[in-house]
Amino acid sequence: MGRADPRLRARLGRFFSPGSLLGPPTTRQLLAIYREYGLDPRSAHPRLFETETLAHMRQDQVQALFRAMGMSGAHRVLSLGEGNGAVSRVLAKTVGCRVTGVDFNARLVASARSLAKVHGVAGRVEYLVQDVGALSLGARRFDRVYAQETMCHWPDKEGALRRVLERLAPGAMVGIHDWLRGDRGGLDEGLRRLPALARLYPRGIWFQYRLEELCGLLERLGLEVVLAEDLTDAVDEGLRKSLAFIAAVSRVTTDRARAAARAFRAVLPAHYSYLRYGRVVARRRRWPSLSASYSRRP
């Protein structure tokens, strides 16, 4: 996303702001949920992640991305489109990395900073109000970078990634979880054909690639793609299990859980046709190469 598109920024800001329909809960709401369900925010319990974000890829899938990137506590990590900090908090707790998260939404950054204190990781994470299309990070350098379900909102992926690569050392790893185009098109097409989905998701914020296109972009930028896999089956199964769980405990679920159920129920018909999910891990080459290959997992 670039600095020169205020209308896109406004649409995304409204959609993802804390307390919005499908945005993350506010810090006050989360504190109440922690108390009600006896959740220790300093732990790495998966229920925390599910409570704090409506991301379609669950904590075990996020941790699988970290393992594929070879994360260790010695790494300095950049998170692109950080949101309210849920992913970086998991990383700081389970791996011990130092993480810099950037997001253009000042309300999300404020929420991430306050929650870092609640979760006991404020010393290992920092959050900056930055647009991924216009990064200004001073002397900071990184050997790991990831984007969790956010690149689908970047109209200029190549320009943004070129700026990111300036911050990476040779041999650095890039990890991506993203919403991909489906077999019949992207979500804007799906919104025209699925009324229930159109009532929840706005148009004009979706810039999805196919898995092959995403890999090709990374390779053109001089990265070696070492892993590329379609996760749609796993994500679809996970959302259906979440729906079944919410239905089973419907008498005690919160308004937040019911909103999640409506969103999951609306998005499931878009799977495969207008929405797929992918994981890509790439390495910045230590030496120039004329060719690159990657491992495709169906």
pTM confidence score: 0.91
Higher-pLDDT residue of 245, 108:
108
Percentage of the chain beyond pLDDT 70 is 93
Does the pLDDT at position 277 exceed 90?
yes
d(CA 177, CA 161): 15
Q: For residue range 193-242, list pLDDT tens digits in order.
A: 999 999 999 999 999 999 999 999 999 999 999 999 999 999 999 999 98
Long-range CB contacts (within 8 A, 24+) of 20-26: 21/200, 21/259, 22/54, 22/200, 22/201, 22/259, 22/263, 24/52, 24/53, 24/54, 24/83, 24/84, 24/86, 24/108, 24/111, 25/51, 25/52, 25/256, 26/111
**Over residues 64-89, mean pLDDT:** 97
53 band by pLDDT with thresholds 50, 70 and 90: confident
Domains located in the chain, CATH noted: 6-286 (3.40.50.150)
Q: For residue range 144-176, list pLDDT tens digits in order.
A: 999 999 999 999 999 999 999 999 988 999 999
Task: Give a three-class secondary structure readout of 211-266.
Answer: HHHHHHHHHHCCEEEEEEEECHHHHHHHHHHHHHHHHHCCCCCCHHHHHHHHHHHH
